[in-house]
Chains A and B, each alone.
Chain A
Amino acid sequence: MSVHASPSLTFESPEQGPDSQRRCVAVCMGTGCSSSESALVRERLREALVEQGLDAEVEVRRTGCFGFCEQGPITVVYPEEVFYTRVKPRDAQKIVEEHIVGGRPVEKLLYKDPLREQPVQKWHEIGFYGKQKRILLGNCGVIDPENIDHYIAKAGYQALEKCLTQLEPTDVIEEVTKSGLRGRGGGGFPTGVKWGLARKTPRWPKYVICNADEGDPGAFMDRSLLEGDPHSVIEGMIIAAYAIGAEYGYIYVRAEYPLAVRRLRIALEQARERGFLGENIFNSGFSFDLQIKEGAGAFVCGEETALMNSIMGERGQPWPRPPYPAVSGLWDQPSNVNNVKSYAYAPAIIRNGADWFKQIGTPKSPGTAVFALTGMVNRTGLIEVPMGITLREIIFDIGGGIPHGKQFKAVQTGGPLGGCLPEEYLDVPIDFDSLQAAGSVMGSGGMVIADESTCMVEFARFFLKFACEESCGKCPPCRIGSLRMLEILTRITEGEGRLEDLDELKRLSKGLQRGSLCGLGQLAPSPVLSVLRHFEDEFRAHIVDKACPARKCKALITYEVVAELCTGCMVCGRNCAANAITGEKLQPHVIDPELCERCGLCYEVCNFDAIVIKSPR
């Protein structure tokens, strides 16, 4: 491949671009939808169009993730933006015949909102998207991520051109600093300031590194962005490299993201072909290239120093800072580590200016936040919202509230190192500082909703267990302390807790927070402490009353038959693997608590709601 000295930003065939008014059926090819056969949907759509002789007129487009993965595979018909959910390969024919040819949207495939009677036709009318503001994800679901022309048509690489041809590196840093952009990897450190520090260290070579490790369980913000709009990240990295004076970069992405890796590979290839990567980019004398480094999926490798160790082929363990990466990072050279999203904001900020960015979100946390909304909420998925939106708006307007009319109990933000907030905090605006003040953190974007049926002690135990298992083992507070905490929590959920355990948990937490080397150990106690703070009564119930108020902890519950409701149908007895249920036909049945293994099957299968779960209190 030869290197073009001057890449072209003109879009070669505008009639095929993402902005054309031409008919187009977009099929989501993100990880979620791909796993439910969206590739086959796309194939079938093509065949159906060929059959109708429309294949030249109607484009079938591969796109990135729409975020509403639970409803996938998702297919959108442009330009009218009709949004189809759960599309099966056999539905392709119908879409083409009824919608494309007949002009009538296929009713059965439209999204049926559990909160509304009428099915929703258009993408942006769906409640899930109502309060979203998609800057980072703006191209996801719109462009073909494997086609650089699509990105270019969406003003792609214009920011890079502007930087290289009109701005000095210091101007770039100033603009990003002025925008107030804060790192989206969790810490919220001002990105412009970070670039400035790396620029200031007078040693070369320097490196830019993109942190796409994304280890939070259930989070997939970075994956979706890389799959849906890889060039925005690449462009951001080139801009950062220009700003700090780096010539080489790495994207550290977990190997469990094969699709993201593939899309990145294709994007890098195309960017090199067009001369956005390589030597003398835009004839500016600036040269830069980067490579993908696949990580083996350790959570701690998302910590920047562990990540760099991993790139260097060392064991993925953090080192104490200072020295900070900006001074001594990869191979002891000045390095800049940013999250995927932090880089991806840069092109938009350069293109539209710092002031444009600042007017989105809040003064101290400008811009948007991307969350993976999961747990006990009606609509789950990936969302992008302006900073300053409240938790209530996210959970109830975007997420559609709690399913089955249950009560909201808590929301966990910041992933396994974050904290949970109860009902009283629902009107807290979401930004770095407000969440921290409320006792949780922004983190990198996990958001898990717990309803009344969630046992908060178990909730805390779950996150702590994750941190404990992911501890790298380097420092004793985290390696051993997290296990000691987990042992106590396990004991409490098993009904063996003692009241002193609460103080002991706090004491151990303090030890981890103060003594641990890296953020993993320092923050591992956060979920436990926040549950202790907001739900201490649940802890006490487990310890004092030997009761699980949510009736979840197996050691503290019993399954019982309500004699008045039992019809003696014998279904439960037939299903019980432990043979714990006895009773004559048409006579009330009885569960032997000694034999019962608390699997809950009888509770599920009883047609008369005659089985109840009991816990003292």
Chain B
Amino acid sequence: MINLTINGESITAPEGATILEVARMAGIEIPTLCHHPDLSNVGACRMCVVSVQGARALQTACTTPAADGMVVDTMSEDAVETRKFVLEMLLTDHPNECMTCEVNGDCELQDLVYDYGVKWPEHNGQRHQWEINPDPNPFIFIDRNKCILCSRCIRACNEIQNRDVWNFAYRGFQTKLVAGADQFMLDAGCESCGQCVAYCPVGALYDKMSIGLGRVNQITKVRTTCSYCGVGCNFDLNVRDGRIIRVTSAADAPVNGMALCVKGRYGYDYVHHPDRLTRPLVRAKWLGREAVEERIAAGEWAIFDEAKQRLTHRRPPNDAQTPIPNTQYPNTQYPNTQDLNTQLPPDTFIATDWDTALDVVANKFAETKKKFGGDAFALLASAKCTNEENFIFNKFTRQMLATHSIDHCARL
């Protein structure tokens, strides 16, 4: 342990920590832009400068190791003036667009400019005029005019995701954040995980699917566990008016931290998708004609009009009447919409309820086991199941159904 003084307060800290880490542990705030606790420190943005007694110049708290006996002033005039200068310089090359910016209210630059009382610097000098949204990546939106060149995206991609898509090209004022050799992201090996977006402190990188759908003060964050695989990543669904408009990383997610894959971050569109099945479907023949007619009449069940659904949602509107050619199962006939009320082909899907559907399955299991024994079954587990669900699945297969024929879709 070492002892040092920050802003007159003496602090005991573990060896090897940076001034920034020690200060934050002690509840002393030092502003940062390029620093992120998940990433390596580069000392680029100069926001975290502090005065260290005896040092020749200001030191960046994010990179300077705290040392025994150090005397640090985080709010010296030099440090504060330097921070204001840095912010002012960043603003001289930043669009004055907070009003329409996606990250208004969720922007580290905006907050610091406000906290340090920096005024909008008018000038007739050079400002970048990069093309907005120049990349065809389906998920990631780029506005380089807002980029402050903090390199957090570069480090996130490299250090967390190990894809190394981003880097800087050119130098000085011409410095530009580029994918690969100034290519499109996908050509540079991007897998669209959106890690770079998650770490961008400003609105230079954003989620394309969420543009115009809601800003931080208009949404509610709902913490959830990803349903795509068994890892159990957590993230926040950004919900506005009952609809998910975006997924954002949750720094305190126990399993994954800020990291997500493309499915977890961008694969949420199924939730509100019209094709989504919201009730269990059972073929009419397993339910019996009477039950079906009765429950439909009672308004509890409904005929699932697969053909109609496909025609309305998968085809352009003017093409709606053309039947979809069924190449995979050429002998299957879609029921004629007009005839559905008068005749009910036995394979028709009926939208039922869970109790009914599970009963059907349970009865069929029992019947089959009795008739043919456990070896008649083979079970395939889904990658969307959690570990716990897979555990139960295994028990069920071997103990209830009494078969060894179990596998997992990840092995296919």
6 residue pairs, one from A and one from B, having the closest CB atoms: A473-B175, A320-B43, A511-B85, A471-B172, A480-B89, A487-B125
**Contact among A483, A514, A515, A516 with B125 in the assembled complex (CB-CB below 8 Å):** A483
State in angstroms the CA–CA spacing of A319 and B92 once bound together: 25
Interface size class of A (residues with CB under 8 A): 20 to 34
Interface size class of B (residues with CB under 8 A): 35 or more
State in angstroms the CA–CA spacing of A477 and B46 once bound together: 8
Known contacts A315-B167, A515-B85, A515-B86; is-contact A476 B57 (Cβ 8 Å): no
Closest beta carbon of chain B to A312's beta carbon, Å: 14
**Contact among A477, A479, A511 with B173 in the assembled complex (CB-CB below 8 Å):** A479
A473 and B89 contact, CB distance less than 8 A: no
Chain B interfacial positions (CB closer than 8 Å to A)? 42-46, 49, 57-60, 63-65, 78, 81-82, 85-86, 89-90, 92-93, 123, 125-126, 148-149, 167-168, 170-175
Closest beta carbon of chain A to B129's beta carbon, Å: 15
Most buried by A among B90, B148, B172: B172
Most buried by B among A469, A471, A480, A511: A480
Q: Mark A452-485, 1 if CB is under 8 A from B, else 0.
A: 0000000000000000111111111101111110
**Chain A residue contacts of B174, Cβ below 8 A:** 473
Closest beta carbon of chain A to B111's beta carbon, Å: 17
A476 and B90 contact, CB distance less than 8 A: yes
State in angstroms the CA–CA spacing of A480 and B127 once bound together: 10
Complex: chain A residue closest to B172, CB-CB: A471
**Chain A residue contacts of B65, Cβ below 8 A:** 322-323
B171 and A470 contact, CB distance less than 8 A: yes
Q: A473-B149, A480-B173 are in contact. List 20 more A-B contacts (CB 8 A).
A: A319-B42, A320-B60, A322-B65, A470-B172, A472-B175, A474-B42, A475-B43, A475-B46, A476-B45, A477-B89, A479-B149, A479-B175, A480-B90, A480-B93, A483-B172, A484-B89, A511-B81, A511-B89, A514-B78, A517-B43
State in angstroms the CA–CA spacing of A473 and B175 once bound together: 6
A417 sits at the interface (CB 8 A):
no
**Chain B residue contacts of A31, Cβ below 8 A:** none
**Chain A residue contacts of B45, Cβ below 8 A:** 475-476
**Chain B residue contacts of A477, Cβ below 8 A:** 46, 82, 85-86, 89
**Contact among B60, B78, B81, B125 with A484 in the assembled complex (CB-CB below 8 Å):** B125
State in angstroms the CA–CA spacing of A481 and B125 once bound together: 11
B58 and A514 contact, CB distance less than 8 A: yes
A298 sits at the interface (CB 8 A):
yes
A481 and B89 contact, CB distance less than 8 A: yes
Closest beta carbon of chain A to B176's beta carbon, Å: 9
State in angstroms the CA–CA spacing of A468 and B175 once bound together: 12
State in angstroms the CA–CA spacing of A319 and B65 once bound together: 14
Closest beta carbon of chain B to A281's beta carbon, Å: 37
State in angstroms the CA–CA spacing of A323 and B168 once bound together: 23
A514 and B81 contact, CB distance less than 8 A: yes
Complex: chain B residue closest to A514, CB-CB: B82
**Chain A residue contacts of B58, Cβ below 8 A:** 514-515
A211 sits at the interface (CB 8 A):
no
- Residue pairs across A and B with CB atoms within 8 Å: the count is 106
Q: Mark A290-326, 1 if CB is under 8 A from B, else 0.
A: 0000000010100000000000000100011011000
Closest beta carbon of chain B to A523's beta carbon, Å: 12
State in angstroms the CA–CA spacing of A473 and B167 once bound together: 12
Closest beta carbon of chain B to A299's beta carbon, Å: 10
**Contact among B44, B168, B173 with A475 in the assembled complex (CB-CB below 8 Å):** B44
State in angstroms the CA–CA spacing of A379 and B234 once bound together: 73
A319 and B43 contact, CB distance less than 8 A: yes
Known contacts A315-B167, A475-B45; is-contact A515 B175 (Cβ 8 Å): no
State in angstroms the CA–CA spacing of A514 and B60 once bound together: 11
State in angstroms the CA–CA spacing of A473 and B42 once bound together: 13
A522 sits at the interface (CB 8 A):
yes
B85 and A481 contact, CB distance less than 8 A: yes
State in angstroms the CA–CA spacing of A402 and B81 once bound together: 44
A514 and B85 contact, CB distance less than 8 A: yes
A471 and B173 contact, CB distance less than 8 A: yes
Complex: chain B residue closest to A508, CB-CB: B85
Closest beta carbon of chain B to A521's beta carbon, Å: 9
A472 and B126 contact, CB distance less than 8 A: no
State in angstroms the CA–CA spacing of A324 and B60 once bound together: 14
State in angstroms the CA–CA spacing of A298 and B175 once bound together: 14
State in angstroms the CA–CA spacing of A357 and B105 once bound together: 64
State in angstroms the CA–CA spacing of A510 and B60 once bound together: 17
**Contact among A315, A320, A472, A487 with B172 in the assembled complex (CB-CB below 8 Å):** A472
State in angstroms the CA–CA spacing of A515 and B50 once bound together: 11
**Contact among A320, A469, A476 with B148 in the assembled complex (CB-CB below 8 Å):** A476
State in angstroms the CA–CA spacing of A286 and B148 once bound together: 49
Closest beta carbon of chain A to B388's beta carbon, Å: 43
Closest beta carbon of chain A to B159's beta carbon, Å: 14
**Contact among B46, B78, B167 with A476 in the assembled complex (CB-CB below 8 Å):** B46
Complex: chain B residue closest to A511, CB-CB: B85
Complex: chain A residue closest to B125, CB-CB: A487
**Contact among B57, B85, B125, B171 with A522 in the assembled complex (CB-CB below 8 Å):** B57
**Chain B residue contacts of A479, Cβ below 8 A:** 89, 149, 172-173, 175
State in angstroms the CA–CA spacing of A235 and B44 once bound together: 37
A487 and B126 contact, CB distance less than 8 A: yes
Complex: chain A residue closest to B64, CB-CB: A322
**Chain A residue contacts of B89, Cβ below 8 A:** 476-477, 479-481, 484, 511
State in angstroms the CA–CA spacing of A515 and B149 once bound together: 16
Complex: chain A residue closest to B63, CB-CB: A320
**Chain B residue contacts of A300, Cβ below 8 A:** 171
Q: Mark A223-259, 1 if CB is under 8 A from B, else 0.
A: 0000000000000000000000000000000000000
State in angstroms the CA–CA spacing of A471 and B44 once bound together: 13
Q: Mark A503-516, 1 if CB is under 8 A from B, else 0.
A: 00000001100111
State in angstroms the CA–CA spacing of A479 and B92 once bound together: 11
A517 and B171 contact, CB distance less than 8 A: no
B172 and A474 contact, CB distance less than 8 A: no
